[in-house]
Structure 1
Amino acid sequence: MSGQDVQDASFDELVAWASALAVPGQRRILGLTGAPGAGKSTVAAELVAALGSDLAVLVPMDGFHLANEVLIDLGRRDRKGAHDTFDDDGYARLIETLRAQTTDAPLVYAPRFDRDLEESIGSAVPVRGDVPLVVTEGNYLLLDVDAWPRARRHVDEVWFLAPDTDIRHERLLRRHLSYGKTPQEASFWTLGSDERNAELITSTAVHADRVLRLR
């Protein structure tokens, strides 16, 4: 990847690095980013499962998708997933709140995205103050426009996942097909909107703490 070395790593190494961030009595935030199809949501969920619910909780960025009716009003429904189709300010405010949450503070509730409904569901992810590590994942954690840098300032480390492009495309095609799209529609989204977003996201990898290819 231009401008940044790609580090081959095993999942066990990722668990060890994340475990080092999960210090009881402290609040740390780990971000996973990468282009569409990079495996962010899968790796993040597996990391949290490996660490256990007393050490880590998953708060995805995708919970801040703007509602479809809002995207239609804005004329952006056909490119859902682009950086300006999210409530970036809401995401930044949540990350700020989670970073400041103390061990004895009340629960904070985060939204999550329901892929069956294609809509976000508010107050769906409870975050306890005594859980030391919040893992967040999403496409635009390193983007330097709008409110995204505000969120980044409160994230301790951001890892950029960089699988081979063919692997990403294959994952995206399977994903779109699983959502009921025709093969032609799946290819249109994978090589169209998804790939345009991928080019922008990949340009942000130079700002990551680690650029990783899982082996």
Structure 2
Amino acid sequence: MVARPVETDLADLVDRARAFVVPGQRRMLGITGAPGAGKSTVAEAVVAALGPASAVLVPMDGFHLANAVLEALGRRARKGAHDTFDDAGYVALLERLRAARPGETVYAPAFRRDLEEPIGSALAVAPDVPLVVTEGNYLLLERDAWPRARALLDEVWFLAPGEDVRKERLVRRHEAFGKSPVDARAWALGTDQRNAELITATAPRADAVFVLR
């Protein structure tokens, strides 16, 4: 059954996420949506509200392939597309996080937007943190290793802001990290938009679709 969009606010999403926190059990929540949907903002706010003893954020973006690898593959101009990530590596990390072995801290990579590169072992996930929140574009994609990632998540939320809002966020983000206004808009309406169309088509596979007020 296709999840109908639900209008809500951040406080409600925090309450929904809190229901996944069960001490002594490892749960995993995914947050997805097209570029500019607000995934990082929502995920960071939810984890901050729950506190470090209850939740930790492990973004998918840490599995961007390095720029040198993308250049070698001829994919640098499509950075952000589904095949510019180490999807199998992401699945392997989720498997380790899901297992939550006693005494074993798992270290995950992070993505530095100022460098446009991933940084390995930047995020520590303690074994006793009950909820792992992960956010990224392709959590519901049905190709390559992505379905295996989805199978490891207890629930996946899809964020669906208005298209005008989403695109303007993207333009501002690209400008903030060094692109000229012309280049920022070209990337947001070109490469990002092609990815957005693919990602939006995955929304029917979400457990819930949210439109934030």
Q: TM-score, normalised by structure 1?
A: 0.97
* Alpha-carbon distance in structure 1 between the residues aligned to 2:203 and 2:138: 10
Which of these residues, 155, 160, 174, is aligned with residue 153 of structure 2?
155
* Alpha-carbon distance in structure 2 between the residues aligned to 1:123 and 1:154: 21
* Alpha-carbon distance in structure 2 between the residues aligned to 1:186 and 1:116: 15
Percent identity between the two aligned chains: 66
Which of these residues, 204, 207, 212, is aligned with residue 206 of structure 1?
204
**What residue in structure 2 maps to residue 73 of structure 1?**
72
The 5 A counterparts of 1:136-215 are 136-215=134-213
1:106 aligns with 2:81: no
* Alpha-carbon distance in structure 1 between the residues aligned to 2:81 and 2:191: 8
* Counterpart code for 2:61: D
**What residue in structure 1 maps to residue 44 of structure 2?**
45
User: Does structure 1 conserve the Cα–Cα contact (< 8 Å) formed by 2:3 and 2:207?
Assistant: no
**Which whole-Å deviations, capped at 9, do the CAs of 1:121-159 have from their partners, x for residues lacking one?**
000000011000000000000001000111111100000
1:105 offset after TM fit, Å? 3.1
1:10 offset after TM fit, Å? 1.4
Question: 1:141 is paired with a residue of what secondary structure?
Answer: coil
Unaligned runs of 5+ in 2: none
User: Does structure 1 conserve the Cα–Cα contact (< 8 Å) formed by 2:107 and 2:122?
Assistant: yes
The 5 A counterparts of 1:4-153 are 4-102=3-101, 104-153=102-151
* Alpha-carbon distance in structure 2 between the residues aligned to 1:88 and 1:105: 27
* Counterpart code for 1:73: A
* Alpha-carbon distance in structure 1 between the residues aligned to 2:3 and 2:164: 20
Q: TM-score, normalised by structure 2?
A: 0.98
* Alpha-carbon distance in structure 2 between the residues aligned to 1:210 and 1:191: 26
* Alpha-carbon distance in structure 1 between the residues aligned to 2:30 and 2:84: 20
**Which whole-Å deviations, capped at 9, do the CAs of 1:86-118 have from their partners, x for residues lacking one?**
00000001001101114x231000000011111
> Would you identify which runs of 4 or more consecutive aligned residues in structure 1 move more than 3 Å?
none
* Counterpart code for 1:69: A
* Counterpart code for 2:55: A
* Counterpart code for 1:40: K
Question: 1:134 is paired with a residue of what secondary structure?
Answer: strand
**Which whole-Å deviations, capped at 9, do the CAs of 1:65-98 have from their partners, x for residues lacking one?**
0000000000000010000000000000100110
* Alpha-carbon distance in structure 2 between the residues aligned to 1:152 and 1:202: 16
1:55 offset after TM fit, Å? 0.1
Unaligned runs of 5+ in 1: none
1:30 offset after TM fit, Å? 0.3
* Alpha-carbon distance in structure 2 between the residues aligned to 1:63 and 1:180: 20
* Counterpart code for 1:117: L
